[in-house]
Structure 1
Amino acid sequence: MADSFGAPVAVSSDAFYFEKDKSKSILILGVGNYLMGDEGVGVHVIQEMATMKLPDNVDILDGGTGGFLLLNCFESYKAVIFIDATMDGQKEGTISLIRPRFASDFPSALSVHDVGLKDMIEAVYLLDNTPDIHLFTISINEVVPMSLTLSSEVKEAIPKTIEDIIRLTERLSAEF
């Protein structure tokens, strides 16, 4: 969802996470800084998915650069799928899927907010109910401050990333 200027519109409410039983639900969480060009691709994916009809057991959230502020979301979900940018030296627009359990499992150069995200994942594993965590990364070459524009290669990776996410949610839902 976007306003008339194309900027994302977000609605935030802690009550959302407690409105229904999410023990068989999947959270798709896009992270990144929307104002830093390609670094915000995770948020762009969520904005695109907000226009789609998704299964009732799939929730989406624009996590921005929230880090520990997002921690309270995790105890309720069976699975969490992250989408984030990475500067891993691969060809721009390369999509990868990893299953992080600790900060050391993340790509060496996630994005500019990687410390908060990595620390948050380690904190998630200290919770009583730990979700099944998956991370889609999209390779980027640079961070462009104060830019809402994605490079063509990164923008072209969004539909394929969404297809991969949908396929993963279908597989995970079948396993619940």
Structure 2
Amino acid sequence: MGISRIVRTPTAVSSDAFFFEKDKSQSILVLGVGNYLMGDEGVGVHLIQQMADKPLPEGVDILDGGTGGFLLLNCFEAYKTVIFVDATMDGQPAGTISLIRPKFAADFPTALSVHDVGLKDMIEAVYLMDVKPDIHLFTISVDGVTPMTVELSPEAEAAIPETIKQILTLIAGLQGAFTTTS
């Protein structure tokens, strides 16, 4: 008896108009990035797809940023707080979840594919903006990428529910801190 895996078809989470039709300065954006067609490199996008099926706290938006680059810059202007999710090959065991508070673009781990160039350049641009969002970066360690597959390794797949739990815990703390300082 073999193990069956469910391969999810990506769904559109939202259109750009949704994000900018009203003031988002008090909202939190969870932004998953990566290449969905490169196996574990797309774990951030897979995470967003799973979050789309869950009830989210008020004032939280999610976005599949794909390989984004400069196209995501408007998000950093609109949101006061951005939570990134991305894969990294950082030498940690596959499936390791880390939370980084990047202060500079150089603090972002090396990405795994072509989205590295656009993402790093976009982050450099974010740090040049007059008003910078509060950025939190969740990384999921992976052993490598597998071109032309949407399947995740068991380690990356297993890390998604725990990462979502940690993101929701962070959001609760951020929202609690916001209400006590408002």
User: Do these two structures clear the TM 0.5 threshold for a shared fold by scoring above it?
Assistant: yes
1:120 Cα deviation after fit: 1.1
Letter in 1 for 2:59: N
Normalized against structure 1, the TM-score is what?
0.92
Matches within 5 A, 1:63-74: 63-74=65-76
Gaps of 5+ in 1: none
Cα gap change, 1:24 to 1:12, in 2 (>3 Å): closer
Give 1:11 shift: 5.1
Correspondence for 1:153 among 152, 155, 158: 155
Of the structure 1 ranges 87-96 and 120-129, higher mean CA displacement relative to structure 2 is found in 120-129
Instruction: Please give the residue correspondences for 1:121-132 in structure 2 after superposition, counting only pairs within 5 Å.
Output: 121-132=123-134
Q: List per-residue Cα deviations over 1:119-170 (Å, max 9, x = no partner).
A: 2112112223211001100000111001011000110000100000001111
The structure with the largest alpha-carbon Rg is: 2
1:31 to 24, 33, 40: 33
1:62 counterpart residue number? 64
Percent identity between matched residues is 71
Moved more, 93-102 or 45-54: 93-102
- The runs of at least 4 consecutive aligned structure 1 residues that moved more than 4 Å come to none
Which one-letter code corresponds to 1:129 in the other structure? Answer: V
For 2:3, the equivalent position in structure 1 comes to none
Partner of 1:17, secondary structure, is: helix
User: Residue in 2 aligned with 1:50?
Assistant: 52
Letter in 2 for 1:175: A
Q: How many residues align?
A: 171
Name the SS of the counterpart of 2:85 in structure 1.
strand
Aligned: 1:165 with 2:159:
no
Structure 2 CA distance for aligned equivalents of residues 40 and 55 of structure 1: 24
Unpaired runs of 5+ in structure 2?
A: 1-6
Contact 1:76–1:129 under 8 Å retained in 2: no
CA distance in 1, matches of 2:59, 2:8: 28
Q: Within 2, Cα distance between the matches of 1:159 and 1:12? A: 22
Larger CA deviation: 68-77 vs 34-43: 68-77
Q: Is the 8 A contact 2:13 2:64 kept in 1?
A: no
Q: Does structure 1 retain, via aligned residues, the 8 Å contact 2:105–2:127?
A: no
> Which residue does 2:97 correspond to in 1?
95
> Matched residues in 2 for 1:65 and 1:166: separation?
24
2:84 corresponds in structure 1 to: 82
Deviation of 1:12 (Å): 5.0
CA contact (8 A) 2:13 2:52 kept: no
Q: CA deviation at 1:75?
A: 1.1
How much has 1:14 moved relative to structure 2? 2.6
1:40 aligns with 2:42: yes
